[in-house]
């Protein structure tokens, strides 16, 4: 009986998920994700802040962001969600450009 209790106290259901919780592996994965995000940020900056066509496209998108209402009477919730998603996409590009330029 003592043996069963010892086995039960050692059982960890997370072991069955196949996730490596080794602290060194977690650090490696976090570093990999950070590197990926920084690379994406630089590419967004290069595309939308350093090329004439990117600057022009972002200016047009920003103008539409400011002009387009988020919701008007009679709109379905899905339509509102799509509009807000487009606005969030444009805002994220603008914020990414600012972030890269502030670094």
Tokens of 99: 């972030």
Instruction: Tell me the HSE value of 74 on the side-chain side, using a 13 A CA sphere.
Output: 0
Q: Each residue's pLDDT tens digit in the chain (103 positions)?
A: 444 444 556 887 777 777 767 888 889 989 999 999 999 999 999 999 999 999 999 999 999 888 888 888 999 999 999 999 999 999 999 999 999 999 8
Task: Give residues with Cβ within 8 angstroms of 30, minimum separation 6.
Answer: none
Distances 83 to 13, 61, 99 between C-alpha atoms, Å? 42, 12, 24
């Amino acid at each position: 009986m003592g043996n069963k209790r010892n086995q039960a106290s050692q059982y960890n259901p997370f072991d069955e998920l196949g996730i490596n919780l080794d602290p060194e592996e977690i650090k490696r994965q976090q570093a990999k994700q950070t590197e990926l995000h920084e690379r994406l940020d630089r590419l967004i900056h290069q595309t939308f802040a350093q090329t004439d066509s990117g600057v022009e496209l972002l200016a047009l998108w920003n103008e539409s962001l400011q002009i387009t209402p988020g919701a008007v009477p009679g709109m379905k919730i899905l339509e509102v969600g799509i509009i807000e998603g487009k606005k969030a996409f444009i805002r994220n590009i603008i914020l990414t450009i600012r972030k890269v330029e502030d670094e």
